[in-house]
């Protein structure tokens, strides 16, 4: 979980500060080196989060489908190996795409209609042929992005079948609660990611594309801690108590306002 939090922090810090600066000033400037650097760390955080979510899906699969072998399989060494592989693949793939992008020639206009340096807005400023970069990106996306997603789908199909075989309702609820937070995060992250990068951008307004990008670059890192914190019983009790106090306070204020209205009437 803390590895995913680290990826979220890297994603937020590479995007959010510059995004807030653009909002406050109605625009801004960034050097070419800074733009490529931002794109690199954004790629590292985004791709690493994909692999970490895949590793977490495997963890949930073992916990529900093979609970007796979970402790012997999911040891410290395997967790460390999956974590290092996730970060290593993220750094290498992002570095490869960033180097290809930096080798393009740019001759203006040097204006990016986006709030951060993404691949498509950058290469569209190039005055050279960038089809090789896009083709390379597509070739890398299929094995290193779609295959992890297919693996997550396979694990949750197996988890669903295993949960349905549980006879008691309480057992089903307990089994589902162990993976519900991860499932919510996967749906949020992959849903916006596929909409932005898989659906042709010509079929939608570019402003919608920027809003969708905002969801997974800023929204998802903010929601992830909240989603996973709701599994903690102490946080649940505190949240229920807070909501109950707020509702009671609202009802008391509403009733007092009605009494004042009657007096004025």
Confidence band, pLDDT 50/70/90 cuts, at residue 113: confident
pLDDT one-digit tens code per residue, 119-134: 878 887 888 777 778 8
Claim to verify: residue 225 and residue 253 sit in the same structural domain:
no
Whether 146 shows a pLDDT value over 70: the answer reads yes
Average pLDDT, the chain: 78
- Domain encompassing residue 82: 2-231
pLDDT one-digit tens code per residue, 47-104: 898 898 899 899 889 988 888 888 888 888 888 899 999 999 989 988 988 888 888 8
Claim to verify: residue 201 and residue 162 sit in the same structural domain:
yes
Claim to verify: residue 197 and residue 238 sit in the same structural domain:
no
Quickly list H helices, 124-168.
Answer: 131-141, 147-164
Whether 1 shows a pLDDT value over 60: the answer reads no
Claim to verify: residue 197 and residue 105 sit in the same structural domain:
yes
The candidate with the shortest Cα–Cα distance to 141, out of 193, 69, 192, 211, is 193
- B/e letters for 80-119, b = 16+ CB within 10 Å, e = fewer, are eebbeebbebbbebbeebbebbbebeeeeeeebebbbbbb
Whether 264 shows a pLDDT value over 50: the answer reads no
Q: Does 236 or 154 have the greater pLDDT score?
A: 154
Claim to verify: residue 154 and residue 74 sit in the same structural domain:
yes
The candidate with the shortest Cα–Cα distance to 93, out of 144, 132, 154, 24, is 144
Query: Can you give the pTM of this predicted structure?
Result: 0.78
Claim to verify: residue 21 and residue 144 sit in the same structural domain:
yes
Claim to verify: residue 73 and residue 154 sit in the same structural domain:
yes
DSSP for 165-192?
Answer: T--SHHHHHHHHHHHHHHHHHHHHHHHH
What percentage of the chain reaches a pLDDT higher than 90?
A: 6
Contact status, residue 192 vs residue 227, Cβ threshold 8 Å: no
Claim to verify: residue 206 and residue 257 sit in the same structural domain:
no
Residue 257, Cβ density class (10 Å: 0-12 exposed, 13-18 middle, ≥19 buried): exposed
Whether 234 shows a pLDDT value over 70: the answer reads no
Question: At 50, is the secondary structure helix, strand, or coil?
Answer: helix
pLDDT computed for residue 58 by the predictor: 92
Contact status, residue 103 vs residue 196, Cβ threshold 8 Å: no
If one counts every other C-beta atom within 10 angstroms of the C-beta of residue 140, the result is 14
pLDDT computed for residue 246 by the predictor: 67
Claim to verify: residue 211 and residue 255 sit in the same structural domain:
no
Triad 119, 122, 127: Cα angle to 5° = 130
Total structural domains in the chain?
2
If one counts every other C-beta atom within 10 angstroms of the C-beta of residue 227, the result is 16
Claim to verify: residue 218 and residue 264 sit in the same structural domain:
no
pLDDT computed for residue 71 by the predictor: 85
Whether 173 shows a pLDDT value over 70: the answer reads yes
Claim to verify: residue 162 and residue 263 sit in the same structural domain:
no
Whether 22 shows a pLDDT value over 50: the answer reads yes
- Rounded-to-integer distance, Cα 79 and Cα 184, Å: 22
Contact status, residue 189 vs residue 49, Cβ threshold 8 Å: yes
């Amino acid at each position: 979980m803390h590895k995913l939090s680290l990826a979220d922090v890297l994603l937020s810090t590479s995007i959010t500060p510059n995004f807030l600066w653009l909002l406050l000033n109605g625009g801004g400037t960034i050097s070419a080196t800074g733009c490529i650097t931002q794109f690199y760390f954004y790629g590292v955080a985004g791709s690493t989060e994909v692999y970490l979510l895949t590793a977490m899906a495997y963890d949930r699969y073992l916990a529900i489908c093979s609970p007796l072998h979970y402790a012997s399989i999911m040891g410290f060494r395997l967790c460390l190996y999956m974590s290092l592989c996730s970060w290593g693949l993220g750094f290498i793939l992002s570095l490869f795409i960033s180097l290809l992008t930096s080798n393009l020639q740019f001759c203006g206009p040097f204006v990016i209609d986006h709030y951060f340096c993404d691949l498509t807005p950058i290469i569209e400023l190039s005055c050279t042929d960038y089809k090789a970069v896009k083709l390379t990106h597509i070739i890398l996306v299929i094995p290193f992005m779609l295959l992890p997603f297919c693996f997550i789908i396979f694990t949750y199909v197996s988890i669903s079948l295993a949960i349905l075989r549980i006879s008691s309702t309480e057992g089903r609820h307990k089994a589902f609660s162990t993976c519900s937070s991860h499932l919510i995060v996967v749906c949020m992250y992959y849903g916006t990611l596929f909409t932005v990068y898989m659906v042709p951008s010509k079929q939608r307004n570019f402003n919608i594309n920027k809003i969708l990008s905002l969801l997974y670059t800023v929204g998802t890192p903010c929601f992830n801690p909240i989603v996973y914190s709701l599994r903690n019983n102490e946080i649940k009790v505190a949240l229920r108590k807070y909501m109950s106090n707020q509702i009671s306070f609202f009802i008391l204020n509403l009733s007092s306002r009605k009494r004042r209205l009657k007096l004025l009437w």
